[in-house]
Amino acid sequence: MERTFDSVAKLHNIEKSYTNFTLSLPELCIPKGFSTALIGENGAGKTTLLKILTGLNDEYSGDIEYFEGLREKHLIIDRIGYTSSTNYFNPSWKLENISEFSPYIYDSFNSDTFYKILNETDMINVKQSISQMSDGMKMKTMIAATLARKTEFLIMDEPASPLDPIMREKLCDLIRAYIRQGNGSNSVLFSTHNISDMENVTDYAIFMADGMVVEQGFVEDLKEKYYLIKGEPSHAKILKEFLIGFTESPYNCQGLCLIDDLDKLAGMDVTVETPTLNQISVGIMKGGAK
Amino acid sequence: MKIQQNSNIPIYQQIATSFQEDILSGKLKQGEFLPSIRGLAKDLRISVITTMKAYEELECQGLVTAMQGKGYYVNAQDSEMLREQHLRKMEDHLQDALVAAKIAGITPDEFIETVKLLIMDMK
């Protein structure tokens, strides 16, 4: 069943070229009120897409419509929060400087919320300047500063990567709280290449490879579109024909099978499982969607 | 509500079953609203779409109705349907019992005797 949804951002004919890379997105909608994961290998174009969406990269062709009808940058920018994969604050600043200066840039910046989130992420007693912080601390600072604003669309580039397991869990809680708070109007888009940590906070998944979207859908729908098949090595030759992201070892072989292809497995001694989002990702990243 | 992450039963199914039991047992009463989709997702630490799918499942079973902008409320449960639900549950379990009996080579007469004994025990 295909679900219909409202979009927080609608991209149309987006093209962006570098010397060795082209991002090409004929049509892409980011669902409103949900948390969307952007999944792909390094170099797939995730960061380029996120920077285009935030407005940081405006040298592209094509059209983006935000919040159902808005295109003017100055109307959009206040409603979007962004955390980069690398620190974007002045490296000599300390937390108190961020709290001091951010209200001048963003009307809705709330220092109390900023310190509340710093407290929740064990950052409250951090005295050093940003340049002396670890990558994890820099990420937590960006997350706290972004969530201290009133926004409706959160764009996060690899937010989980520099965080330890406890903080990844906390990040998921913060994302869910943000979605909850909006009651259907707040949306999140984050990129990741390690989806297993974020699986329980992902509603919609967009898979990218070589600058293109190769698969997308609500997670629960994808889990009904693909099956995880495991079989004996003796079947490898036949299975290889139509399994996606096929792998084999001397003891077994496995891959993803489209639900429509399930008939082709008739008579074979294989196990059929519902894949996790991580297993779907690995299959698609290895073999490309069909 | 207990959610098992690594069980063979999909998470949405586990949530649906839990609410189903609460509705059929009368713990959740007619007209009562289920928790909001995004609120439940936050509290159970699962994704919104999983919660949504669980609620859609309950709607399919006719246990709840979606009200636009307000959420899902519990339908009136007529006793006939309740009986039907329990009957189906009983049949499912008996089916399992029959499979086990067949594997163990228990004759139909022995099976019926066992059921009779169990009924006596319950009295």
Q: What is the pLDDT of residues A58-105, one digit of tens each?
A: 889 999 999 999 998 888 989 999 999 999 999 999 999 999 999 999
Q: Is residue B4 part of a domain?
A: no
Per-residue confidence (pLDDT) for residue B122, from 0 to 100 = 82
- Minimum Cα–Cα distance from A175: chain B residue: B42
Query: Domain boundary residue among B74, B89, B109?
Result: B74
- pLDDT reading at A180 higher than 70: yes
What confidence category does residue A269 fall into, taking pLDDT thresholds of 50, 70 and 90?
Answer: confident
For residue A157, give the 3-state DSSP assignment.
coil
Does one domain contain both B37 and B83?
no
Q: Tell me whether residue A150 is exposed, middle or buried, using C-beta atoms within 10 angstroms of its C-beta: 0 to 12, 13 to 18, 19 or more.
A: middle
Query: What sections of A55-164 are H helices per DSSP?
Result: 73-76, 95-105, 111-120, 135-147
Q: What is the pLDDT of residues A197-224, one digit of tens each?
A: 899 999 999 999 999 999 999 999 999 9
Share of chain A above pLDDT 90, in %: 72
DSSP secondary structure letters along A115-133:
HHHHHHTT-TT--S-GGGS
What is chain B's Cα-based Rg? 19
Instruction: State CA A181 to chain mean position distance.
Output: 20
Residue type, B13: Q
Nearest to B48 among A177, A203, A223 (CB): A203
- pLDDT reading at A289 higher than 60: no
Query: Rounded mean pLDDT of B69-90?
Result: 83
- pLDDT reading at B85 higher than 80: no
Does one domain contain both B70 and B25?
yes
Per-residue confidence (pLDDT) for residue B123, from 0 to 100 = 76
Interface of A with B (CB under 8 A): 33-35, 172-173, 176-177, 179-180, 182-184, 199-204, 218-220, 223, 274
Task: Report the candidate in A115, A216, A120, A125 with the shortest Cα–Cα distance to residue A177.
Answer: A120
Q: Is residue B3 part of a domain?
A: no
Using the structure block, give the residue that is written with the tokens 């259907």. Answer: A184
CB-CB neighbours of A37 under 10 Å: 23
Query: What sections of chain A are H helices per DSSP?
Result: 46-54, 73-76, 95-105, 111-120, 135-147, 165-182, 219-225, 236-242, 277-287
Nearest to B12 among A34, A176, A220 (CB): A220
Per-residue confidence (pLDDT) for residue B24, from 0 to 100 = 82
φ, ψ for residue B59 (rounded to 5)?
Answer: -65, -40
Does one domain contain both B19 and B60?
yes
Per-residue confidence (pLDDT) for residue B45, from 0 to 100 = 93
Does one domain contain both B91 and B57?
no
Does one domain contain both B69 and B116?
no
Q: Is residue B28 part of a domain?
A: yes
Distance CA A102, CA A112 (A): 12
Residue type, B77: Q
Number of structural domains in chain B: 2
Share of chain A above pLDDT 70, in %: 98
Q: At what angle do helices A135-147 and A111-120 cross, to 10 degrees?
A: 140
User: Is pLDDT larger for residue A247 or for residue B55?
Assistant: B55
What confidence category does residue A57 fall into, taking pLDDT thresholds of 50, 70 and 90?
Answer: confident
Per-residue confidence (pLDDT) for residue A74, from 0 to 100 = 86
Question: Does 3.40.50.300 match the CATH number of domain A7-210?
Answer: yes
Per-residue confidence (pLDDT) for residue A4, from 0 to 100 = 85
Q: What is the pLDDT of residues B15-42, one digit of tens each?
A: 999 999 898 888 898 999 999 999 999 9
Distance CA B67, CA A203 (A): 22
Range of B67's domain?
11-74
Does one domain contain both B68 and B107?
no
Spell out the domain ranges in chain A: 7-210, 222-287
